[in-house]
Amino acid sequence: MIAHGNKIKLFAGNGSPELAQAIAKELNMPLGNISVSKFSDGETSVQIGETVRGCDVFIIQSTSTPVNDNLFELFVMIDAMRRASAGRITAVIPYFGYARQDRKARARDPITAKLVADLLTSAGADRVLTMDLHAPQIQGFFDIPVDNLLGASVLCNYIKDLPFAKSEDLIVVSPDVGSVSRARSIATKLEVGLAIVDKRRPKANVMEVMNIVGDVKGKTCLLVDDMIDTAGTITQGAKALIEVGGAKEVFVCCTHAVMSGPAIERLENSVINKVYHLNTIQIPEEKRLDKFEEITVAPIFARAIESIFAELPLSRLYE
Residue 106 in domain: yes
Exposed, middle or buried, 260 (CB in 10 Å: 0-12/13-18/19+)? middle
Domain that includes residue 89, residue range: 8-149+298-318
Q: Verify that 303 and 284 share a domain, yes or no.
A: no
Q: Verify that 145 and 163 share a domain, yes or no.
A: no
Q: Verify that 73 and 116 share a domain, yes or no.
A: yes
Residue 2 in domain: no
pLDDT confidence of residue 60: 98
Residue 1 in domain: no
Q: Verify that 97 and 208 share a domain, yes or no.
A: no
Question: How many CA within 13 A on the CB side of residue 82?
Answer: 16
Q: Verify that 183 and 141 share a domain, yes or no.
A: no
The domain that contains 198 carries what CATH number? 3.40.50.2020
How far is the C-alpha of 217 from the C-alpha of 212, rounded, in Å?
10
| Local confidence pLDDT in tens for the 319 residues of the chain | 444 457 999 999 999 999 999 999 999 999 999 999 999 999 999 999 999 999 999 999 999 999 999 999 999 999 999 999 999 999 999 999 999 999 998 899 999 999 999 999 999 999 999 999 988 899 999 999 999 999 999 999 999 999 999 889 999 999 988 889 999 999 999 999 999 998 765 655 554 657 899 999 999 999 999 999 999 989 999 999 999 999 999 999 999 999 999 999 999 999 999 999 999 999 999 999 999 999 999 999 999 999 999 999 998 887 6
How far is the C-alpha of 30 from the C-alpha of 25, rounded, in Å?
7
pLDDT confidence of residue 204: 52
Q: Verify that 117 and 37 share a domain, yes or no.
A: yes
Positions marked active-site: 199
Q: Verify that 94 and 143 share a domain, yes or no.
A: yes
Q: Verify that 51 and 70 share a domain, yes or no.
A: yes
Beta partners for residue 254, in sequence order: 225, 277
User: How many structural domains compose the chain?
Assistant: 2
Q: Verify that 221 and 160 share a domain, yes or no.
A: yes
pLDDT confidence of residue 315: 86
Q: Verify that 87 and 131 share a domain, yes or no.
A: yes
